[in-house]
Structure 1
C-alpha cells in the first residue's frame, strides 16, 4: 500500500516548503489588501470603511443623537470586522480626533484624548459618537448603485467594497500603515487645494506634478506648525510619490519670553517640555531660566521659555531647540495605495489624482445610470397608469369580473406585467380626474430628466463637467483655509557645546601619571595640589569652562576633551587613559587651553619645532591626532603658549650649556610636521645622547630671563640676554661656568 493510503479521507499531503510559502503569501496579501493600506477610491482601510458604514446603518447621522461608542464597535465586530475590540475602537478614535484627522468622520462626545496624550481617551463604554457632516461625502451616494457589494465574513450580510467618495479622501485625511514588506505614509492635505488640483486635472488630463502643485503646494496638517521643506523637495516628493518633509513649531516673542504657539503634527507638548527640561538639568541650556506650560482652552498650545537675560540670542536658542527636540520633526511620505486594479503601488501625485478621477467618473456614471433606470421604470409604470385612466370603466369591469385580472389587462391593453401590477395596486382615491393630470405632469418632468441623463451619459465632456461641478460645490461646502503654512527655512543647527556651557575661569591640571582635573579660577597653586602616591605635577593651563582642553603626548599626538567635563580639583581627578586611547607606552606631556586662534610652540629635544594654532590640534577622535613628528629617540618638550608673536623671543638652551634667543617670526607656522631647526646640536653628540635641547622659554622683549641649573639660578636682564641673540639654527653661545647644565628656563 502507498503511504497516502494511510491518510484520513480529505487530508492532503504536501511538502512543508510549499505549505509555508503559500501560507505566508496568503497572510501577506491579507495584511496588504484587507488591513494596512487604504484604497485609492475612498482613502479608507477596511476597518475604517466598516466603522463608517456601520454607523450609517445605525442611523448615526450628523443630525441624530450621539450613541455609545461600544454600540458601534459591537456592530462592527459582530457584522463586518471579526477582530479585537480595542484595535477597532482605537481606529474609531483616530477618525474622531481633530488633531489626528484633518477632516474627522466621527463627531465624538466625551474624552477622546488630547494632543499631549492621544491615547488618553476614555473607554468605549463612556464615550458617545455619531458621524460628522463630512462623512456624507462618503455615504450620500451609497444607495444609488454606485458601490459593489461583497458578503461579510460569515456570508449573512453584505458590505460595500469601496465607498463612493465624492472627494479624494486618500489625500485629504491621509493615513499610515505597515503591511508585509511595504508601508504607506500619506500626509493630509487641504480640501480646497486638492479640489483645485482635481479641477485642473479634469481640464488638462496631461498635467504633471509641477502644474498640480501650483494649486496644491504641499500637505496641510491639523496643526498650525510650519512646513519648512523647500519647494523643490516637495515637487520631487510628488513626482515620485516618495520622500520626506519637515515641520517646525511656531513661536513668537512676548515680554522677553519665547512663546511656542503651534507644535508639529502628532508632537506632544508635554514631551517637548521634558526634552527641554532634561537639557536644563544636564546643564546644557544655561541660557534658559524658566520653562512652563500655560496651555488652556483659549490657547491649546502655549509653552513659555524664559531666557536667563536679555543678552541671550533668542533666534539661536530656538534654532538649537529645533535641532535637539521634537519642536522640529521629519515625516516620511510614501504614497502607497491599493489601486483600482486591486494592486498596491506607490503613485505620483498625477497618477494618484488621475486614478481617483477615473473612479469618481465611473461612480457618477453608475449613479446616473441607476437614476436613469429608475426614471425609465417609473415612466413605464406611468404609461400603464395613463392607459388605465383613459379606460377606467373597462379596467374596473375586468377587475370585477375576472379572478385573475392581471393577465386580462395585459391582453386587453397590451400592458406589461409590471404595469398591470401597478394598476391593480391603485387605491380608489387615486381614480379621480386630478390624478390623471398629476401623472401627466410627473411624466413630463421625468421625460425631461431622462433626456438630460441620457445626454450626460452619452457625452464624456458633459460627464466630466458634472464631476467638476460637484467637486467645486463640495469644496465650497466643506473647504476651509490652510492651517500649516509652507515657509522655506534653513535647517536648524544645534549650538556648539561650548556655547551651551557658562564661561567661567578654570585651570586644568595634568599630573605626570596622566591624571587630570579642573580647578575653578586662575589663581591656583597647581604644583601644591594633593597628588596620588608616586605622582606629581606635570602641567597646567588656565582657560574658560566653555573652551576645549588639548593634551599633547610623548608621541606628538594631540587629544581634546571639553574642559567643563573634567572632574573637580577637589579630588585627585581621573586618568586620561579612561577617556582617550593613546598608543601603548605613550605618556602625556602637557595641556593647552585658549581660543582657537591662539598659538603654541611645539618642539622635541632634538632641536626642531614650529608654531601651531590651537584649533589645528583639536580633534574628536579618542585616538588623537598626529601633530608633531617625533624622531626616533627624541623626547617631546612641554608646549609653550605665545602671547605676542611680534614682541616675544624664543629662548633655547642645550644640555651642554649653549643658549640661543631668536625672534618667533623665524619659526614656521604649520598645522603638523617636524618643524625647522631651532638650535644646532652636532649630529654625533645628538646620536650619542651627549647633548640635547634641554629647555625652551618665551620671553618678552623687556622682561628678564632666568636660567635654572641644579640649585643655581641666573637672572639676566634684557640687555644681558640680548648678547645671546642669533639666527635660527645656530649653535648659540655658552653660558657662564656653573650654569651649563641647564634644567629649565623661564621668563618673569
Structure 2
C-alpha cells in the first residue's frame, strides 16, 4: 500500500488535538457569553436574525418557526429545538430580567418553564430593550465574520449600549469550566458605571454601594449578608441564598413570591410529601391559587391558630425549595478572546473600555461619512457655480470626466458624482440646499473631531447615553434585600401540635395513644390473652420513654403512635429490645424533668427525662441492675431541695431521706439509697417494696391489709435519716405493708 502524500499521526496526538479543538469550540462558540454584549453565539444569532427579518418592537409578530429557520439556515447549523429553547428563554419574563424577545402565545409559565408551545404555534418579535444591542449595529461599530458557508456575514459581537452581561446574566456548561452569572438591576449597574467614569480609581467597595446584590425577575428576598456579596464580587464566584416571601391572611400562610427558577407545584409536592410521611402535623391543607393576575399564590393552612407560623416557615425554608442557594461563577469571554472569571470591578472596567471603543468607532464611522459627503458637496457646489461651462463640457467632450477633473481640479469621486446628478437637481434652489447642508455637516464634523480628540468629551457622551438608556429601560429593584437568620429543620417533636394524650402499653408489649386524659386504659379492648400493663399522660408533641426489665430506655414520638381506636401495634415492630426483656414502664414529660430511677436492691440516681431518650431502636442502658433484680416505678421529682424520698422495705422498715444526696447521673447503677439485709439459707434478701416522693408538709399513709396508719409531723421526723441508712421499723401490725400513699394537705 502506498502512503505517499498521506499525513500520519499517532492516535494519542490526533485524539488530544481533536478534543482540545472541540473544547475550545464549546468554550468560545457555544457555552460562554461574551463580556461585550453578554450573549452566547446562538442568542446573538437569534437577535441578529430577527432584526434582519424586520421584527422590531414596532412591527407585527411573526411565527417563531420563521425566525428559527432563518437562524439555522443562515448562521447556526444546529438543532432546531435547542435554538428555539434559547429563544424561549429570552422571551420568558420570569427567566430573563430584561427580555429580548416579545412572545405571543404560550411561552411557558413560572410553574413549568418547559411547557411552552411548539414554534409553529408561537409568534415573536424583538422587545424595545433589544434596541440596546442593535441600535448601533450599522454604524461601523461591529466586526463581521463570514457565516458557516461563507455566503453571508454576521457580527462577532453586538455593539451593546449597556452591560447586558450583568443585566441578564447567563449560565452554561463548557468543557472543564462553567458559568453562572446572576442578573442585576439596570439602574444600579448604570449608576456603578457612571461612578466608575467619574472616578476611574474607584474600588470594589465603592461600586458595591451602587450594586449591593443581584436582582432577579422574581420578587423573592435575597437574605445573604452584604459582606458575603462583597467577597463574592471580589472573587467572581461564591454562593448566596434567596427565600420566598409570605404574608398572613385570615390565619392562612400565603406564599406570594418564590425564589428564581423554583416551581410552585414542586414546592407543594415537597410539603405534601412531609405531610404524607406524618412529619409535618402542623399543616392542615395546601392549595394552589395561582392565576394570571397572581402568578404565585400558594396557600398553606395551619392546623390551628396556635401554630407558631415563624417556626413552621423556618422549617419549610430549610426543608423545601422555598429557600434556595445559588452558585455564582462570573466566567465569561473577555475582550482578549479568552475565558476568565472576573470580579465586578474588572467586568465594569473592561465593559467601559469596550463601550469607549464602540463609541469611538461609531464616531469615526460617522466622521468618515460626513467628510465623504462634504467632499462630494464641495465638488457639486463647484459645478453649480460654473454650471454653463460644466454643461458645455459634458455636451462637447468625448471624455467629460477627465476634462472636468482637469478644469475644476476635481477628484474622480467628485467628477462621477457631478456626472450622476439629475437635471432636475440643477435648479437654483438646490444651491441653497447644498450650502445649508455644507454648513450643517461642517458643524457636525467639528463636533465629531472634538469628541474624538478629547477623552473628557468622549466620557461625557458615554455618560449621557448611559443615563438616557437607564431612564428609558430602567426599573425598580424586584428582589428585596433582607438579612435573615438561618432556617432550621425542626424535629418532629417541635413540629407536632401539643394536644393531651394518654399512651397505653399492654403486657404483651402493644402500644397505642388515645386523645385526652379522661381515658380509662383498663377498659380498652385488648387482644386475646393480653391485658393492660401501664399508661402515662402527656402531650402529643412530647416523646414517650419506655423502660424495660433490663434497665434499657427507648424513645418514641407520641404523635407517631397508633390510635387507641384499635388495639395498637407491637413495640417490637418499632424497637429492638434484647431477648427476654419485658417493657415495664412508660414516661412522658419535658426534657428537663427529673426522675428517680431505682431498683429493688436499694440503689438509684436522679436522671433527666432528656437523658433517658434514645433514638436508636435498640435503646440505651440507662439503669444498671443485676440479673433478676426488679426495677421499680420511676418517680417524678418536682423539687430536689424540698422533696423527700420515702422507701419501704420488705421487712417493714421505712426511711425518709432528702434528695440532695442522691446523685445526678445520665446512666449507671446509682448510689445506695437504703441499707437492706442479705438473707441466709432459705431466707430471701430484703428488698425495697414501695417508694414515693414526699413533698414538704405532706403526710405518709401506710396500708397493711385492711389497716392503715398516717404518719406526719413529729412522728414522720422519727423515720427521717441520712441516705443509705436502715430507717425505722414500723409498729407491729403494720410491718407487712401492702400500700403506700402520699397525702398532701
**Shared fold (TM-score, shorter chain, > 0.5):** yes
Distance 1:355 1:381 in 2: 39
SS across alignment from 1:560:
strand
Asked if 1:164 corresponds to 2:159, the answer is yes
Measure how far apart 1:63 and its partner are: 1.1
* Inter-partner Cα distance in structure 1 for 2:339 and 2:313: 41
**For 2:448 and 2:683, how far apart are their aligned partners in 1?**
110
Report whether the alignment pairs 1:176 with 2:171: yes
What is aligned with 1:373? 368
- Matched with 1:697 is 691
Query: C-alpha separation between the residues in 1 aligned to 2:560 and 2:303?
Result: 22
736-745 vs 544-553, which deviates more?
736-745
Report if the CA contact (8 A) 2:596-2:635 is conserved.
yes
Q: Does the aligned pair in 2 maintain the 1:695–1:744 contact within 8 Å?
A: no
Distance in 1 separating the partners of 2:450 and 2:208: 34
Alignment pair present for 1:718 and 2:714: no
Deviation at 1:137, TM superposition (A): 0.2
Q: Between Structure 1 and Structure 2, how many residues are aligned?
A: 735
- 1:35 is displaced (CA, Å) by 1.9
What residue in structure 1 maps to residue 639 of structure 2?
Answer: 645
| Correspondence list, 1:211-226, <5 A | 211-226=206-221
Shift of 1:135: 0.5
**Equivalent residues in 2 for 1:105-124 (5 A)?**
105-124=100-119
Q: Which digits, 9 at most, give the CA deviation of each residue in 1:320-351, with x for residues without a partner?
A: 44344333333222222221122222222111
Cα separation, partners in 2 of 1:446 and 1:295, compared to 1, 3 Å: same
Instruction: Evaluate the alpha carbon distance shift between residue 665 and residue 152 of structure 1 in structure 2; reply closer, same or farther with a 3 A threshold.
Output: same
Q: Deviations over 1:229-276 (max 9, x none)?
A: 222222222222222233333333444444333333223333334444
Shift of 1:656: 7.1
1:727 aligns with 2:727: no
Q: Residue 96 of structure 1 contacts residue 104 of structure 1 at CA under 8 Å; is this kept in 2?
A: yes
TM-fit CA distance, 1:285? 4.9
Q: Does 1:383 align with 2:383?
A: no
Deviation at 1:584, TM superposition (A): 8.2
Q: 1:497 aligns with which of 492, 504, 507?
A: 492
Alignment of 1:497-576 (within 5 A): 497-510=492-505, 516-522=511-517, 523-525=519-521, 530=526, 539-552=534-547, 558-568=553-563, 573-574=568-569, 576=571
Aligned-partner SS, 1:541? strand
Residue 46 (structure 2) pairs with residue 55 (structure 1): no
606 and 23 in structure 1: CA distance in 2 versus 1, 3 angstrom threshold: farther
Q: Which residue of 2 is the match for residue 475 of structure 1?
A: 470
After TM superposition, the score normalised by the length of structure 1 is: 0.88
Task: Indicate whether 1:326 and 2:321 are aligned.
Answer: yes
> Within 1, Cα distance between the matches of 2:606 and 2:230?
52
Instruction: Report deviation, 1:495.
Output: 4.9
Which deviates more, 28-37 or 719-728? 719-728
Distance verdict in 2 for CA 1:705–1:594, change over 3 Å: farther
Classify 1:161/1:586 alpha carbon distance in 2 versus 1 (closer, same or farther; 3 Å).
farther
TM-aligned CA distance change 1:591 to 1:215, over 3 Å: same
CA–CA distance in 1 between the matches of 2:34 and 2:157? Answer: 8
Offset from partner CA, 1:469-508 (integer Å, 9 cap, x none) = 1101111111112222222232334555234333343343
* Residue aligned with 1:252, SS: strand
Secondary structure of the residue aligned to 1:145 is helix
Asked whether the equivalents of residues 700 and 741 of structure 2 are also in contact (C-alpha less than 8 Å), the reply is no
Which deviates the most, 694-703 or 41-50?
A: 694-703
The reply on whether 1:12 has 2:8 as its aligned counterpart is yes
Q: Is the 8 A contact 1:600 1:639 kept in 2?
A: no
SS in 2 for 1:491: coil
CA 1:531–1:713: 2 relative to 1, 3 Å: farther
Show structure 1 runs of 5+ residues with no match.
none
Distance 1:104 1:466, change over 3 A: same
Q: Deviations over 1:503-558 (max 9, x none)?
A: 3433434567765443555534469874687x887654332222111234567554
Deviates more, 1:549-558 or 1:240-249: 549-558
Residues 44 and 574 (structure 1), Cα distance of their counterparts in 2 relative to 1, 3 Å cut: same
In the alignment, the residues of structure 1 paired with residue 42 and residue 276 of structure 2 have an alpha-carbon distance, to the nearest angstrom, of: 45
SS at match of 1:144: helix
Q: Is the 8 A contact 1:648 1:698 kept in 2?
A: no
CA displacement 1:579-610 (0-9 Å, x = unmatched)? 45667887655432112232211235554321
Shift of 1:203: 1.1
> Within the alignment, does 1:338 sit opposite 2:330 as a pair?
no
Contact 1:283 1:501 (8 Å CA) reproduced: no
- Secondary structure of 1:96's aligned partner: coil
Report 1:269-668 matches (<5 A).
Answer: 269-510=264-505, 516-522=511-517, 523-525=519-521, 530=526, 539-552=534-547, 558-568=553-563, 573-574=568-569, 576=571, 578-580=573-575, 590-604=585-599, 607-621=602-616, 624=619, 627-628=622-623, 630=624, 637-642=631-636, 644-645=638-639, 649-652=644-647, 659-668=654-663
Q: 1:124 to 1:581 in 2, by over 3 A?
A: same
Please tell me whether the aligned partners of residues 168 and 356 of structure 1 are also in contact (alpha carbons under 8 angstroms).
yes
In structure 2, the CA distance between the partners of 1:585 and 1:406, relative to structure 1 (3 Å rule), is farther
Output the CA distance in 1 between the equivalents of 2:163 and 2:154. 21
Q: TM-score scaled by structure 2?
A: 0.88
Q: Alpha-carbon deviation of 1:219?
A: 1.8
**Which runs of 5 or more residues in structure 2 are unaligned?**
none
Question: What CA distance in whole angstroms lies between the structure 1 residues aligned with 2:669 and 2:650?
Answer: 21
Deviation larger for 366-375 or 670-679: 670-679
- Give the Cα separation in 1 of the matches to 2:630 and 2:368: 100
Cα root mean square deviation, aligned? 3.6
Whole-angstrom CA distance in 2 between matches of 1:165 and 1:333: 23
1:129 pairs with 89, 104, 124, which one?
124
Deviation at 1:661, TM superposition (A): 3.5
Report how far residue 739 of structure 1 moved. 9.8
Contact 1:603–1:636 (CA under 8 A) maintained in structure 2: no
Counterpart CA distance in 2 for 1:420 and 1:685 is 139
Counterpart-to-counterpart distance in 1, 2:289 and 2:174: 40
Alignment equivalent of 2:37, drawn from 38, 42, 50: 42
1:714 and 1:578, CA in 2 relative to 1: closer, same or farther beyond 3 A? Answer: farther
